[in-house]
Amino acid sequence: MASERHFCTFCIDGLWFGIAAESVQEVIPSLPVTPVPLAPRAVAGLTNLRGQIIPVIDLRRRLGLEERPAALPPVNVVARSENGTVGLLVDEIGEVVEAAENAYEAAPDNLPAESRELVPGVCKFPNRLLHVLDLDKVLGGDGREVQSRKAVK
């Protein structure tokens, strides 16, 4: 029997994305975000999550997609990585799904060039295609895109 992986899913600009469920701490409505001068464009700013200051990444910007319409408030997926806790702004939260390890394929070419390295693969579901995000690459794995909490102090 093939091993299964669980993904927390969400929609961004009509596309269905997922990250490893074990990386997700919680899902909350969008919190107030304080912009950070000179931060990369994808960094929406910093927010206070129950006394912990965390960076917030706008996944639409990070993936090179169109800006979110003002009438569509984002949802914040709070995730943990090796560099600390981070908030990911998405359009709509989905469910947790499971997929067999052998169900993955290379990512399609319909994604903007900036996002192809962030989505190493996809998984086919009935009538849907799950774009699996590499959270470390989304956060700039080498520290380029998002500074850890300690560096922001």
| Residue 62's CATH number | 2.40.50.180
Position 120 confidence tier, pLDDT thresholds 50, 70, 90: confident
Mean pLDDT in residue range 37-43: 93
Position 107 confidence tier, pLDDT thresholds 50, 70, 90: confident
Task: Give the pTM.
Answer: 0.84
Position 142 confidence tier, pLDDT thresholds 50, 70, 90: very low
Q: By percentage, how much of the chain surpasses pLDDT 90?
A: 56
Q: Which of 85, 81, 92 is nearest to 30 (CA)?
A: 92
Mean pLDDT computed over every residue of the chain: 85
Position 77 confidence tier, pLDDT thresholds 50, 70, 90: very high
The whole domain housing 75 covers 4-152
> Rounded distance, CA 124 to CA 120, Å?
14
Position 112 confidence tier, pLDDT thresholds 50, 70, 90: low
Residue 3: pLDDT above 80? no
Query: Domain count of the chain?
Result: 1
Position 141 confidence tier, pLDDT thresholds 50, 70, 90: low
Distances (CA, A) of 37 to 17, 23, 44, 88, 140: 29, 28, 10, 19, 18
